[in-house]
Structure 1
Amino acid sequence: MREQPEQQAPPVQRLRIRYAKRGRLRFTSHRDFSRAFERAVFRARVPMAYSSGFNPHPRISYAGAAPTGSASEAEYLEIALAEVVDPADVHASLAASLPDGLDILEVVASAGGSMPDRLTASVWRLSLDRTAVEAAQDAVRTLLDTPEVLVERMTKKGLRRFDARAAIHSAAVRGEDPGRPGCAILDVVLRHGSPSVRPDDVLAALHATSGLDVTAALQQRLAQGPLDEADGTVGDPLAPDRDAADR
């Protein structure tokens, strides 16, 4: 009979981390990032808590990861620790252990509750290839005036057809990209759901409603957090943890 594995002690502290994917590192897949992060916590000597079982692994929980190829200023994860540490020390040691482009932006002690439950929407900025501002504005108006827009995307479960319009809280053309003449900038607030509507789905919806055939040279998530349906703002998901630490 196989000997039962030793049970690990429960975590004594949880830290929540906001990080960015920038430059060429935006092409890092979620699996590649998770491997890089596990190596970083080992190099940084972070006192991780481990799962029980025959193959213990560090307790790391990821939430709302951006699609591969998308830059982001608002990626989140949570780590569970076997010792109580200063979040500022973990911030410094992890920042030194990750490559430039995978950048630690903030580390706070968890005040409890579910992190994924706080991530209900994202703000995206899309730089549209070879698309004049006026053409983009017309296409966005048409999209927003359409109550339902069905798009298709290949998923792990096969080809899925879903309504992309329902996830779009707001969309607005912000002018021309200063670094790319002739390319409009589109800001979109997307509600999270299942399946999750991505920037590419928004572009597919624009094509379906107005015939605008466009790709985004850069998709960048600017924020991710709780959505205020009244004013369309996306809040800071780490604010409750920060407030608890200040009390």
Structure 2
Amino acid sequence: MREQPEQQAPPVQRLRIRYAKRGRLRFTSHRDFSRAFERAVFRARIPMAYSSGFNPHPRISYAGAAPTGSASEAEYLEIALAEVVDPAAVATQLGEALPPGLDVLDVVESPGGSLSDRLEASHWLLDVAADPAATEAAVAAFLTAESVEVERMTKKGMRTFDCRAAVVSLAVVAPEQGDADAPVRPGLRLDLVLRHGVPSVRPDDVLSGLRKVAELELGGQVLLTRAAQGPLHDDGTVGDPLSF
């Protein structure tokens, strides 16, 4: 019989981490990031806990990753450790080991429970190049519609779904001056809060919905930035999942 693998000791501490994807690193896929993060914890000598089995791997749980190509200030993961460490020290060590653009923002001890369950909604900022009046009209038409069906290619083929139901709020606002990632051409900013669910609705699905309801024309670069991700409050704002 095949010899059974050694069983790893259970974790003694869990840490939750918020990190950002900025600049060119927004084009990093989730798979590429996970590889970069595993290399970073190894270089930083973080005392990771490992899974049992024939191919042990560090215990890292990812939650709510942003689509490839979008920037984010609110990406989350949880790591399990074999030793009790200072979260602030881990933040510093990982910050030095990760490439610029993948930036650790917060590290806190996990209170237990599911991190994914705390990620109920996302607050997105969409910088677009479009006519202001046409954009306002498209947003108004979108919000008054009972449903807006769009199509997106998935791993299981083309899928049609309603993107309106997931939209908590959508408004046209002026872009902040001095944004490093703002479009080169003059544009507008859409302020969007999306409720997480099944099927998962992404910001580009909402843009497709705006094109459908009002034939809105978007020219030039479109920049998607997740500003926050966490619990959905009764007033429609998105809270901090690391705050209890």
Q: Is structure 2 residue 217 aligned with structure 1 residue 213?
A: yes
Q: What is the aligned partner in structure 1 of residue 231 from structure 2?
A: 226
Distance in 1 (CA, whole Å) between partners of 2:24 and 2:132 is 27
Partner amino acid, structure 2, of 1:89 = A
Structure 1, unaligned runs of 5 or more: 241-247
Helix, strand or coil for the counterpart of 2:209?
Answer: helix
Give the Å deviation of 1:132.
Answer: 2.3
TM-score with structure 2 setting the length: 0.95
Deviations 1:131-190 (A, max 9, x none): 122221111011000010000111111111100000000000002564555311101000
Q: Determine if contact 1:127/1:177 at 8 Å carries over to the other structure.
A: no
TM-score with structure 1 setting the length: 0.94
Kindly report structure 1 stretches of 4+ aligned residues shifted beyond 3 Å. Answer: 176-182
Deviations 1:78-107 (A, max 9, x none): 000000000001000000000000000000
Give the Å deviation of 1:214.
Answer: 2.0
Equivalent residues in 2 for 1:74-223 (5 A)? 74-129=74-129, 131-176=130-175, 178=177, 180=184, 182-214=186-218, 217-223=222-228
Partner amino acid, structure 1, of 2:152 = R
Q: Determine if contact 1:16/1:78 at 8 Å carries over to the other structure.
A: yes
Q: What is the aligned partner in structure 2 of residue 71 from structure 1?
A: 71
Distance in 2 (CA, whole Å) between partners of 1:108 and 1:177 is 30
Give the Å deviation of 1:195.
Answer: 1.8
Q: From the superposition, tell whether residues 67 and 6 of structure 1 become closer, same or farther in structure 2 (CA, over 3 Å).
A: same
- Percent identical: 68
Q: What is the aligned partner in structure 2 of residue 244 from structure 1?
A: none
Helix, strand or coil for the counterpart of 2:92?
Answer: helix
Partner amino acid, structure 2, of 1:156 = K
Distance in 1 (CA, whole Å) between partners of 2:242 and 2:66 is 18
Deviations 1:50-92 (A, max 9, x none): 0000000000000000000000000000000000000001000
Q: Is structure 2 residue 16 aligned with structure 1 residue 16?
A: yes
Report the aligned-residue RMSD.
Answer: 1.2
Q: Is structure 2 residue 57 aligned with structure 1 residue 57?
A: yes
